[in-house]
Chain A
Amino acid sequence: MISAPDVVAFTKEDEYEEEPYNEPALPEEYSVPLFPFASQGANPWSKLSGAKFSRDFILISEFSEQVGPQPLLTIPNDTKVFGTFDLNYFSLRIMSVDYQASFVGHPPGSAYPKLNFVEDSKVVLGDSKEGAFAYVHHLTLYDLEARGFVRPFCMAYISADQHKIMQQFQELSAEFSKASECLKTGNRKAFAGELEKKLRDLDYTRTVLHTETEIQKKANDKGFYSSQAIEKANELASVEKSIIEHQDLLKQIRSYPYRKLKGSDLSAGEAEGSSKDQAGQASTTSDPDESVDTEVYASRPDYTPKLIKAKSTKCFDKKLKTLEELCDTEYFTQTLAQLSHIEHMFRGDLCYLLTSQIDRVLLQQQHITNFLFEDFVEVADRVVEKEGSGVPLEPSQDRPPSRSLEECLIPKVLISVGSYKSSVESVPIKMEQELGNEYKEVEVAEASSFDPQENLDYLDMDMKGSISSGESIEVLGTEKSTSVLPKSDSQASLTAPLSPQVVRSKAVSHRTISEDSIEVLSTCPSEALIPEDFKASYPSAINEEESCADDSEGAIHFEASTSPPGLGEAEEGSLENTPHADSSCCIGKETDSLLVPLPTSALKLSDDDSVVSIPPQRYRQKDPGFHVDFTVENVNPASRDNSSESFPPYELDPSCPLASRDASKTSLDNYSDSTSYVSSVASTSSHRTPSSAHPTGFSSERHKKRAGQNALKFIRQYPFAHPAIYSLLSGRTLVVLGEDETIVRKLVTALSIFVPNYGRYAKPVKHWVSSPLHITDFQKWKLIGLQRVASPASAGTLQALSRYSRYTSILDLDNKTLRCPLYRGTLVPRLADHRTQIKRGSTYYMHVQSMLTQLCSKAFLYTFCHHLHLPAQDRETQELVASRQMSFLKLNLGLVNEDVKVVQYLAELLKLQYIQESPGSGHPMLRFDYVPSFLYKI
C-alpha cells in the first residue's frame, strides 16, 4: 500500500534529509508555476502566507492611561517573527475587546477605594485583514500610582491559524492562566510592598505634620489658628484619611487568597496549585500567598520613609511603572519563561499539536509497555503524575476526580452558544460503571443532527467568511453569553475532539460576513469553558457509530465490540479456542482503559477509541475511513491529508518547562526542518506515536529522522535485512562488523530503532567497540558496532565473536554478509519492506514506531493473559500450558513462525519490568536459543 504519510505538502527540503532517490526533473510543460510566496520560504498550503508574520508569537500589550494601547513586548522577541505585522494596531484591537475591564476606585456607596479582584478574561478574536487570529488573555495589575490603581494588560497568542486558536483554546487558556497567575502574584506582592512603603511614608508624614502642628500650636498661643495652621491640620487630616485608605487597600490585597479560595470559582487556586506543580519553576511562586503575607507583614526595616508632599499622588505626567516593576522581577522573568514555554508548546501546526497531544494521552495509557520502544518515557510519567494531581482549569466542583488520568487533552473548544443550543437535545443515559464508579450518570446527547457533510460545508463557509471579512469587530460571543448555560460536570473522556469543531463550525457559520471585521469568535468564562450541554452533545461512544455511519469519507468506524482494545477479534478467537479464556483472559492494569470489564467495555472501548482515532483535522476527508482495530492488518497508514505548515516538532510537553527552555535555545533556523513529521503522526493516529515530549527536543527529532533514513537505506540495500531486524527484535545481539567507524556508527544508529529497551533507561546499544567481546557484553548490549582491525591483534576479536556465535548475529559490512538464524515470519517484512514507498526518514521512523507499538500490544496481551501462564487446574501439566501459549500466539495473535519469539521476548521484558521492585535494579539476563545460524550473502 502506498503509504499516505508521504503524500504531504511539499514545503522546504530540509538539508538533513538524504533523499534516496533523485527524481528526474519534470519536463517543462508539466511543471507547475511556483507559488508566488515561495521565495519567502512559505509553503503554498500555508495559511500563514496571507499573514504578515512568519509564525505564531505572543504579544503583551498594555492599555496605558497615558498613550492608550501599546505593545510592550513579544515572545519571541525577534522582529523577524512578526515582520511587518502592525503591533500597535493589533494591540489596539486586542485591548478593545476586554469586556470586563474592571473598574477599581470609589464605587458609589463606599467610603474607600475598593480593589476589585477581577477574573482574567479570555477572548478569541480574529482579524482577517491582518490574517491574524488571537487568543487574548486580559488581566489587570495593581499600581498604586495608576488611575483607579489598575493597569490593564493583555497577553495575546497570535497565530494565522484560526483553528489552532480555537482548538487549542483550553490549553492556551490553561497555560496563559499560569502565566497570568504568576504575574498577578508578583504584582500583588509588589503592590503590597508598595502600599507598605506608602503607609510608612504617610505615617512619617503624619508624624512630621503633627509635630509641626504642635510646634505651631505652642508658638502660637494666641488662641486662634492661623491659616497656616489650618492648612496643616487639613493636610494632617488628609494624610490620616489616606492612611486609612491605604491600610484598607493593604488589607484587601492581603485578603486576596482567602477571598479567592472561598469563592465558588476555584480556578485561580487551581491554577496556582498547578503552577506549584511545575517542577523547577522556582519555589517562590509556589506559595505566593504566604510569602506575600510574611514578607509584607515583616515590613522592610531598611526602608527610610519619605515625606509625602500634599497632592503628590496621581500625577499624569510622570513615568508609569514598567511591567517588570509592577511585578517582582523574579516573577516577571518567570512569567517570561512561562510565556516562551507557551510559545514553544504551541509552535507548529495544529495538526501536529493535536496528534502529539493524542500521543501523550496514549503513551500514558500504555505505561506498562511504553518503555520498550519509546525514548524517555519518564517525561510522560511526569505528565501522568501531574494530571493525576489535579487537572487544572477543569470545572471541578462535581467532576469525578478519578477520571483525570484518562482525561483526554484533546481540546474542548469554546463555543458560542446561542444559535444552536436548541438543536441539541440532551438525553440522559444511565451507564453502569462497574469498576471505577467514577461517574454515575452521563448525559449523552443525540448528535444525529450533525451531519458531517453539512459540517464540512459550514466549515468551508466559515473559512471563506473569515477571509473576506475586513475591518469591523464582530463579537460572536462573550463569556456572559456562555455563562448563562449551566456549568456542571462534564464527561471529559467523552469529549470527542472531533465534535467541538463540528459544533463550532456550525455556530460560526451563522455569522455574517462583513468587511473590516475583527471577529471575536467567542469568549468564555474563565472557568467553565464548555457548557455542559455541548460537552454532552459531543458524539460519544454511544452515538458515534450512528453519527458516523453515513459519513462515507472521513469515517471513523468504531468497533464497539465487547472486548478490550487491542484485542479485537483475537480475543474473540481465544474465547472460542481456549477453554478458560473467557474468565481470565483480560486482566486490566491500573488505568481503566485497560481494565475493561466486559459489560461496560463496549462503551469504554469506544470511548478510548474515539480519542484515539479522531483525525487531527477535518480539512479534507478524502481518505477511506480507517478502522480503529488493533488486529487489522497492521500498518494502515490511512493518513489524513494535512495541509500543514510544518514547524519543527518542538517540545510540547506542558509539564516540562525546563525541557522547553532547552528547546527554546534551538534557534530559528531549525524551524523549517521537518515537514513530513506532522503527516506521519497523523497516519499513525490510531497507534501510539513517538513521544514528542522529548527533553532534548529538536536534535532528537533530527536523530530519529536520520536513523529512519539510514534504516530505510539499509532495508533497500541489504536483502537480508529481515533476519537482521528479527535478531534485534528477538533479543539476539546483532554485531555490526566493519572497518569504517562512521559507517558502522551510522548503521548502528539506524538499527537501534528496532532495539527494545530493557527498562526506562538508555537503549542497549553500543555504537563502537574495538576490543574483543565478552559474554557480559551480550548480556548488556543488543546491538554492537564492532571494529574490524586488519592487524593480527584483531584475531582475538574475531575468535571471541565466533566462540560466542550462538548469542549473536553478525552483520559484516565489509563483506556484506550476515550470519544469523533463519527468519520466516511475516512481521518483519511488513516492518521493513524494501519496496516501501516511504521515502522520508521521519516517516519511516513513525511507521516503525506504529508497527512496534502494535507488537507491544500483542506482547502486553500475551504477558497479562492469566490463563496463558498459569495452570487452570492443579493437575494441568506444564506442557498443556505451553501448548495453550503457543496456540494463543499463533491463532489469536496471528504470529507466524519466528514472530512468536519476538513476542515472547518482549513479554519477558515486560514481565521483568513489571516485577522489578525498583527500576534499574535487577540483573538483565541473557536469553538465547539454540538455533542454527545461516550465512546470508548479497
Chain B
Amino acid sequence: MLRWLIGGGREPQGLAEKSPLQTIGEEQSQNPYTELIVLKAHHDIVRFLVQLDDYRFASAGDDGMVVVWNAQTGEKLLELSGHTQKITAIIPFPSLESCEEKNRLILTASADKTVIVWDCDTGRQVQRISSFQSTVKCLTVLQRLDVWLSGGNDLCVWNRELDLLCKTSHLSDTGISALIEIPKNCVVAAIGKELIIFRLIAPTEESLEWDILEVKRLLDHQDNILSLVNVNDLSFVTGSHVGELIVWDILDWTMQAYERTYWDPSLQLDTQQEIKLCQKSNDISIQHFTCDEENVFAAVGRGLYVYNLQLKRVIACQKMAHDSRVLHTAKLPSRQLISCSEDGSVRIWELREKQQLAAEPVPTGFFNMWGFGRVNKQAHQPAKKQQENAALCSLEPVGDLIGHSSAVEMFLYFEDHGLVTCSADHLIILWKNGEQESGLRSLKLFQKLEEHGDLYLTG
C-alpha cells in the first residue's frame, strides 16, 4: 500500500522500495483522461457503480446511500436513502440491455436485510422488502422470464410486482457470493467452494407454480469461489481464492479448462526471490474476471493475466500490475484493459501482439515450469524483457489515473463520457477525455451564442 505514495515522482525519495512494478512515468501521451471531476456525496466507502442508461449511473456504498449521477456533467441527480446499513448489491431492473421500459427501477440489497426498489427517475422508493432472513449478497435479473433473483443464505425468485415466486431451502450460512444466469433457465450460484446449478421452472399449462430446483453441484474448487462470470454462449468461468481458474461448459456444466500453475509460485520450481515475493496466498486469489469473445482477463492478486480460451493458456500477463490487489477489471473496445486496485490507482493497459513472435513461433511445449522459472528470474527487469518469452501478447501500460487516496473499488466505463471510479476514500471521480470535453464545451458555447442570437458570421 505504500508504493503509491511515491507515484511517478522524480524527487529523490528514500521511500522508494524496490519493486517490479512497472512505472508508467509522467508522460502518458496515450492516456486520454486529462480532465477529472470529483464527485462527493457519500460518507463511506463507495463499492458499487451501475450504469442506468447512456448518461446516468448510480453509486452505492457502505453508507447505505444510493446516488444517481449525470455522467456527462457530474451533476448529482438523486440521492436515494433508505437503507440503514451498507449496500451489498445493486442492479438496475429491467437490466440495461432492454431499453423499452420507461420507468426504470433500481434494486438495492443491504446488510439491513432489506431490498428496496427505487424509481430512478423520481427517486421514489417503490417498495421495500424486508422479509429476508439473511443479508442478500447478490441480485440478478432474468430478463427473459421477467423475474429477479436474490441470493443470500437462500435463493429467492421474485417477479416484477415484487411477489415472492419461489425460494430454495436454506443453502449455507455463508450465503451465495455470486450468481449468474446460464441458458436453459438455469442459474449458477457460488456458495463457498461449491458451485450449485439451479433450474427455474416457469409456470406452464400444467402447473401455475414457479419452482426452483437444484440441478447439480460442482465441487472442483479447493477454496472459496470469489468470481463467477459468463464468458460467452458456450462457457462461464470461475476463480477461487487460491487461484484456480476453471472454465466450464455452459450447457453440460463440465470443466473445459483449468489453470492455476501459471501464477501460483508454490506449484512452480521457483527462485528464492519469487517465493519470497509471493508468499501470501492472497496474492493469487482471483478477484475479478472480465471477458471478451476470445479471452478471459483475470485479476489475480496484484497481477493481470490474459487467458485465451482457444489456446487454453495465458497469452499475456502483468504480474505486478498494481501495488496491491486488483479489485476490478474491464475490457474496452479498443483492445484496452483497465484495472483498479487497492493501491488507489487505476491503470490502463493495452494488449499488443508481439511482432517478433510471428517469425518465431512458440513451441507448444513452451508452457512449462522451466519456462516460467526463466521468466520469473527476470521479474525485476523492465517489463518488456520480462514478457518477451512469456506469451504471445503483452500487456503494455498506457497510462494510470491517480486521484483516489484509497482503494479503488470499482469503475464504470462510458463510451461517451469517460470513466467513473469509486473508492474507499468516499469519492467518485469522473475521468474525462479533456480534448473531447473541450470540443463539447465549444459546441455548447456556440449553441448558446446562437440561441442568444449573438452568432454572426462575417463576410
Contacts and interface: CB of A to CB of B under 8 A. Distances in A.
Given A799-B5, A805-B9, A931-B27, A598 B459 contact: yes
B458 A926 contact: no
Given A774-B405, A929-B34, A915 B11 contact: no
A914 interface: yes
Interface string B2-24: 00111111110101000000000
Given A803-B4, A935-B11, A598 B458 contact: yes
B445 A928 contact: no
A869 B15 CA distance: 45
Contacts of B457: 583-584, 587, 866
Nearest to B435: A882
A911 B443 CA distance: 10
A776 B441 contact: no
A878 interface: yes
Contacts of B25: 932
A435 B458 CA distance: 11
Contacts of B10: 819, 932-935
Interface in B369-414: 399, 402-405
Contacts of B29: 930
Given A775-B427, A925-B37, A805 B454 contact: no
Contacts of B455: 587, 866
B26 interface: yes
Contact of A927 (B11, B34, B454): B34
Given A776-B427, A799-B15, A804-B402, A587 B37 contact: no
A589 interface: yes
Interface string A19-33: 000000000000000
Given A779-B36, A923-B75, 17 more contacts: A582-B459, A588-B454, A597-B456, A775-B38, A775-B404, A776-B40, A779-B38, A802-B5, A803-B344, A806-B7, A864-B445, A927-B35, A928-B34, A928-B35, A931-B27, A932-B26, A935-B10
Contact of A925 (B403, B432, B449, B454): B432
Given A802-B7, A923-B73, A586 B458 contact: yes
Interface string B36-64: 11111000000000000000000000000
B28 to A, nearest CB: 4
Interface of B: 4-11, 13, 15, 25-29, 31, 34-40, 73-75, 344, 399, 402-405, 425, 427, 429, 432, 434-435, 437-439, 441-446, 448-449, 454-459
Contact of A806 (B8, B37, B444): B8
Contacts of A927: 34-35, 434
A927 to B, nearest CB: 5
B299 to A, nearest CB: 22
Interface in A883-930: 904, 908, 911-912, 914-915, 922-923, 925-930
Nearest to B345: A803
Interface residues of A, number: 53
What are the nearest 10 A-B pairs in CB distance?
Answer: A869-B442, A930-B28, A799-B5, A802-B9, A583-B459, A911-B441, A932-B26, A775-B403, A803-B7, A915-B444
A310 B75 CA distance: 81
A199 B173 CA distance: 100
A908 B8 CA distance: 27
23 contacts: A583-B459, A587-B449, A598-B459, A775-B36, A775-B404, A799-B6, A802-B11, A803-B7, A803-B344, A803-B405, A805-B8, A805-B9, A863-B445, A864-B445, A869-B446, A908-B438, A911-B442, A911-B444, A915-B445, A923-B75, A930-B27, A930-B399, A935-B10
Interface of A: 435, 582-590, 595-598, 774-776, 779, 799-800, 802-806, 819, 863-864, 866, 869-870, 878, 881-882, 904, 908, 911-912, 914-915, 922-923, 925-935
Nearest to A911: B441
A870 B429 contact: no
A595 B456 contact: yes
Contacts of A923: 37, 39, 73-75
Contacts of B435: 882
Contacts of B37: 779, 923, 925-926
A932 B4 CA distance: 18
A138 to B, nearest CB: 47
Given A775-B429, A915-B444, A926 B8 contact: no
B34 A588 contact: no
A529 B442 CA distance: 46
B11 A931 contact: no
B38 A806 contact: no
A761 to B, nearest CB: 18
Contacts of B446: 866, 869-870
A800 B73 CA distance: 27
Contacts of A904: 438
Contact of A870 (B9, B15, B443): B443
Nearest to A801: B9
Contacts of B449: 587, 589, 864
Nearest to B441: A911
Contacts of B40: 776
Contact of B442 (A585, A870, A922, A932): A870
Nearest to A601: B458
A802 B458 CA distance: 50
